[in-house]
Amino acid sequence: DGGITQSPKYLFRKEGQNVTLSCEQNLNHDAMYWYRQDPGQGLRLIYYSQIVNDFQKGDIAEGYSVSREKKESFPLTVTSAQKNPTAFYLCASSSGPYSNQETQYFGPGTRLLVL
């Protein structure tokens, strides 16, 4: 089955700790995205990558970092600089990178909680 997987489903972070959220896709999509959802709010773009070894900041990139060493993987690190990391994190992909009107498909999400 083709799809997007995110792990873990729940993640706990201690103060001052960096944590990494995994996102893998086997859809052969070029573009991948990370979003954050806070309670009662919409999705906000953290980072995106249109192609391997390239990524760009989204609207709320401060306190986060990413890498795109492989086409199928786009891990997100929540650093200690992110002062309010508690949220639901969603990874998405689309065939991209420069196609018009592409639909993004989402993974199941990771809920990050601060201890």
Partner 1 sequence: DQQVKQNSPSLSVQEGRISILNCDYTNSMFDYFLWYKKYPAEGPTFLISISSIKDKNEDGRFTVFLNKSAKHLSLHIVPSQPGDSAVYFCAASVWNAGNMLTFGGGTRLMVKP
What is the nearest approach in angstroms of partner 1 to the Cβ of residue 109?
Answer: 5
Q: Under the criterion CB under 8 A, does residue 26 sit at the interface with partner 1?
A: no
Nearest to 3 by CA among 22, 21, 29: 29
Q: Is-contact 45 66, C-beta < 8 A? A: no
Distance set, CA 38 to CA 1, 49, 77 (Å): 30, 22, 18
What is the nearest approach in angstroms of partner 1 to the Cβ of residue 74?
Answer: 14
Structure tokens at 70: 């492989």
Q: Under the criterion CB under 8 A, does residue 41 sit at the interface with partner 1?
A: yes
Q: For partner 1, which residue of 22, 61, 105, 114 counts as binding (CB under 8 A)? A: 105
Residues that bind partner 1 (CB under 8 A): 4, 6, 31, 33, 35, 40-45, 48, 50, 56, 58, 88, 90, 92, 94, 96-109, 111
